[in-house]
Amino acid sequence: MKSIVLLIATIVGFSSCASNRLISQPALGTTGIVIEADQKAEHKWGQVTFPAGLYQPEAKDDRGIYYASPSRVHTGCITKGGREHGGLYVANKTGYQYLWIGQPGYQLQQAPSTILGQWGVETPLLYVLKERIRFRHASRH
């Protein structure tokens, strides 16, 4: 009985850490976006440089798409050499843009084998950008 109570408490504890925004794989055929030249943008906590290149859709939620940078984004932070896995999040309805940092693609690959499944995938950190990044949608091949 004690182990059942402990198991239930553990599951509740993990689920409280899970995001209320369910992250999933982008739909097949979702095109990437292209940033033609390196671009800098400011957010509440600092500045970020988005490298030029093709940003592939790594994940989505009900509000937008997480486009992964072709190389690490330069955040200027002192950890990880100031470079993080992340990219540009674009909201579906409003077009708002955010810097995102995290590992949603890796977590989605691991989700089927975890006790919480998709609910255990953490939402990447989002930082609203003060200015828009110029991009175009990639052509389909």
Instruction: Give yes or no for residue 134 having a pLDDT over 90.
Output: yes
**CA 84/CA 117 separation, integer angstroms:** 25
* Count of Cβ atoms closer than 10 Å to residue 123 Cβ: 18
Q: How many domains does the chain divide into?
A: 1
* Mean pLDDT for all residues in the chain: 82
pTM (2 decimals)?
Answer: 0.78
- How high is the pLDDT of residue 120? 60
- How high is the pLDDT of residue 62? 93
At 70, which amino acid appears?
P
